[in-house]
């Protein structure tokens, strides 16, 4: 009956309707399934996948040298001195093993069990090289092994020719060059600092591995991706950085804490294998109120944590509670530590290595292997208990810091409950100075955080009242760098923002109650404005990270100039845009002579300026308060014309890091930062 109904309605459904995508076509159709996103994060993920293959060679003891080069024309080259990908014919695919690895999903040297040559590796999904190949408009692999040099080229995952031996070679290793496909990645721009920071971590994780990164993007026509392993000596010096660490995780902890003040001198470290799981952990507590736990699984950074972090946190809480109770260091009325208490001020690196590893998702952001939880819990718990017994002074310092955190947590809960009670139960649902929007839909609602009452007044008059709310901030908000929730909520400005957002804070934070899906920071284009913006970003990073991760935080980009040419009015958001609007035919020296920070008064003065400046008048904005409501709407608030910068975790993390240096208690890092960056400062006199 159902079949008859289908045919009558013209809906014929049989085997012919089932699509079968061959080769690497599924990757090109759905790239997000394999690299997470086609934005900047996914673009850099291509580099990590190829680099991971070389790093796995180093983890297996077959390689000690890796070179990563950013080439002109959006190309990247990764070379290693490992064994080289096999080039003999694969029994199952009947083509070269190199071609199989590069053009077939779930093919590689990491699936062969005990005989594969890889005890552990990060690329167990088997999608790395083939996915990069599929998403590249150009890819070339050069293999040096068994006395020969072998080459194969590809485009969009398809080979251009068979694997060919082009010459003899005394080298060993693999060189991969790839160019991401612009059909997949709309904005191809590799970030130097992102690549350096990622690879620096890897250098710490693999002892004795030398890694060199070279930025050769500005040398088009002078260098190429030729068949040399390392760059020959040029008459010019290429920008580069090299890493080599023997200290491993202990060195990494020292690096993370170089701008912090450790509260105990000894860095805890353990490395042990249990039930075929390698566990390596280093930690140190610092004088701070936030945690910094960096997790790895088979040297893959697992930003979302996973089973190894669950095992670590559980063992940490249990061990400190046991030691504290055994040595009678806390009153029974205070109860015991929670995970929140023992994590305060902790810097830790947790690294596990497993033969058969399971990640949740292709991007490997979270470890799912259950055996890691038990192994980490046992190895770390036993070793950390011994560390506390052998270092009683360090143990006392750590316990006292956790007790302080416990007391602060209880005080913060009382303060938070008080704020929520006043806000929800006494009718003060929203702060009085908030000009709320009419819409009840969070998806379309926006909250502008503006600097001062003057800008607040213009914003309130110029906004779209239906979807735009305005919250003026008086002066600079509280420095939350070292402030706990109880002190933070004592600040009127911060409390007003928390209540306006509606999410609550701390352990009762609920992103689903967010009242606005766009929070727009709109501050002046001066030093004070930048400071307030940094304070706000630090606040969101410290206490509302999920709001940033959800993509709800934006920075307004108000114009720097208002330019009148006759009756025509344009706004310029940069000096380059100003010159473009003015036009090359205009005398720039004359225009600069009449630039002003305020509007001229009176018709005579306006006419005089027009005559002097060839009918071009430029007004330089230094603050949002200088704009009238119509100008503020047209340039900064109108969704159809405005320019917004979306804030991501890296933006907020960098702001937090700089703020820690500049506003923290340690003087040497601040002095070093100012000396290093003084030449970059723009002084507005």
Residue numbers annotated as active site: 451, 524, 526, 528
Q: What tokens does 489 get?
A: 């909520």
H or E, element range at 103 = helix 97-103
Sheet holding 446-451, edge to edge: 468-473, 446-451, 518-522, 553-556, 644-646
- DSSP code, position 601: P
SS3 617: strand
**In 72-163, at which residue ranges do the beta strands (DSSP E only) sit?**
75-80, 136-145, 148-155, 158-159
Taking phi over 0 as left and psi of -120 to 50 as alpha, with beta for the rest, 173 belongs to left
- What is the CA 523 to chain-centroid distance, rounded? 24
- DSSP code, position 522: E
Question: Is the Cβ–Cβ distance between 460 and 491 less than 8 Å?
Answer: no
Concatenated DSSP letters of 19-46: ----TTHHHHH-THHHHS-SSHHHHHHH
Q: How far apart are CA 455 and CA 627, in angstroms?
A: 8
H or E, element range at 351 = strand 346-354
What separation in angstroms does the CA of 518 have from each of 70, 468, 595, 633? Answer: 36, 9, 34, 16
Q: How far apart are CA 302 and CA 464, in angstroms?
A: 42
451 known ligand binder: yes
What separation in angstroms does the CA of 130 have from each of 57, 60, 239, 299, 455? Answer: 17, 21, 30, 20, 53
526 known ligand binder: yes
H or E, element range at 580 = helix 575-582
Q: How far apart are CA 88 and CA 85, in angstroms?
A: 9
Angle at 411 between CA 405 and CA 416, to 5 degrees: 120
SS3 181: coil
Q: How far apart are CA 138 and CA 155, in angstroms?
A: 5
224 known ligand binder: no
Helices 307-326 and 370-390, interaxial angle, to 10°? 30
CB atoms within 10 A of CB 277: 24
CB atoms within 10 A of CB 392: 11
Q: Which residues are annotated as a binding site for Mg(2+)?
A: 451, 524, 526
């Amino acid at each position: 009956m159902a079949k008859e109904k289908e045919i009558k309605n013209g809906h014929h459904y049989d085997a012919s309707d089932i699509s079968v995508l061959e080769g690497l076509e599924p990757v090109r159709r759905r790239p997000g399934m394999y690299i997470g996103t086609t934005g900047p994060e996914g673009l850099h993920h291509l580099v990590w996948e190829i680099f991971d293959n070389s790093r796995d060679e180093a983890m297996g003891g077959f390689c000690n040298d890796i070179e990563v080069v950013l080439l002109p024309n959006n190309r990247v080259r990764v070379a290693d001195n490992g064994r080289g990908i096999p080039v003999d014919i694969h029994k199952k695919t009947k083509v070269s093993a190199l071609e199989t690895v590069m053009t077939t999903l779930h093919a590689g040297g990491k699936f062969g069990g005990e005989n594969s040559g890889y005890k552990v590796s990060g690329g167990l999904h088997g999608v790395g090289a083939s996915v990069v190949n599929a998403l590249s408009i150009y890819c070339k692999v050069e293999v040096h092994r068994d006395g020969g040099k072998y080459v194969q080229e590809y485009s969009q995952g398809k080979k251009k020719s068979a694997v060919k031996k082009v010459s003899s070679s005394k080298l060993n290793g693999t060189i991969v060059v790839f160019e991401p496909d612009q059909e997949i990645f709309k904005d191809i721009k590799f970030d130097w600092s992102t690549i350096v920071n990622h690879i620096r971590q890897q250098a710490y994780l693999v002892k004795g591995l030398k890694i060199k990164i070279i930025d050769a993007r500005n040398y088009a026509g002078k260098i190429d991706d030729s068949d040399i392993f390392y760059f020959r000596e040029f008459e010019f010096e290429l920008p580069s950085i090299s890493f080599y660490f023997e200290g491993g995780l202990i060195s990494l902890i020292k690096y993370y804490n170089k701008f912090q003040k450790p509260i105990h001198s000894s860095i805890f470290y353990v490395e042990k294998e249990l039930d075929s799981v390698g566990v390596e952990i280093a930690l140190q507590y610092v004088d701070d109120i936030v945690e910094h736990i960096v997790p790895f699984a088979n040297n893959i950074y697992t930003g979302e944590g996973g089973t190894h972090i669950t095992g670590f946190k559980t063992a940490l809480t249990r061990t400190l509670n046991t030691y504290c109770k055994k040595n009678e260091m806390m009153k029974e009325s205070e109860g015991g530590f929670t995970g929140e208490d023992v994590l305060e001020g902790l810097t830790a690196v947790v690294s596990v290595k497993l033969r058969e590893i399971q990640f949740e998702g292709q991007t490997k952001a979270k470890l799912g292997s259950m055996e890691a939880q038990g192994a980490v819990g046992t190895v770390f718990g036993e070793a950390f208990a011994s560390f506390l017994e052998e270092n009683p002074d360090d143990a006392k310092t750590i316990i006292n810091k956790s007790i302080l955190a416990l007391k602060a947590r209880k005080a913060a809960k009382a303060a938070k409950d008080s704020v929520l009670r006043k806000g929800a139960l006494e009718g003060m649902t929203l702060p009085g100075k908030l000009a709320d929007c009419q819409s009840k839909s969070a998806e379309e609602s926006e909250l502008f955080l503006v600097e001062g009452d003057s800008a607040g007044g213009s914003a309130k008059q110029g906004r779209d009242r239906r979807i735009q709310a305005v919250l003026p901030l008086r002066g600079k908000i509280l420095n939350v760098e070292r402030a706990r929730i109880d002190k933070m909520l004592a600040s009127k400005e911060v409390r007003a923002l928390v209540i306006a957002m509606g999410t609550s804070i701390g352990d009762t934070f609920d992103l689903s109650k967010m009242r606005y899906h766009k929070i727009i920071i709109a501050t002046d284009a001066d030093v004070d404005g930048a400071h307030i913006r940094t304070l706000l970003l630090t606040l969101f990073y410290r206490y509302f990270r999920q709001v940033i991760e959800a993509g709800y935080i934006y920075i307004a980009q108000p114009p720097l100039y208002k330019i009148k040419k006759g009756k025509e009015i344009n706004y310029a958001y940069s000096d380059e845009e100003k010159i473009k609007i003015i036009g090359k035919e205009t005398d720039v020296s004359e225009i600069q002579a009449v630039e002003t920070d305020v509007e001229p008064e009176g018709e005579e003065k306006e006419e005089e300026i027009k005559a002097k400046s060839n009918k071009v008048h430029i007004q330089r904005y230094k603050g949002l308060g200088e704009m009238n409501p119509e100008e503020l709407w047209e340039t900064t608030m109108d969704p159809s014309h405005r320019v917004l910068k979306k804030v991501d975790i890296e933006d907020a993390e960098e702001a937090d890091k700089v703020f820690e240096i500049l506003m923290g208690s340690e003087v040497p890092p601040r002095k070093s930062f100012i000396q290093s960056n003084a030449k970059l400062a723009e002084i507005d006199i």
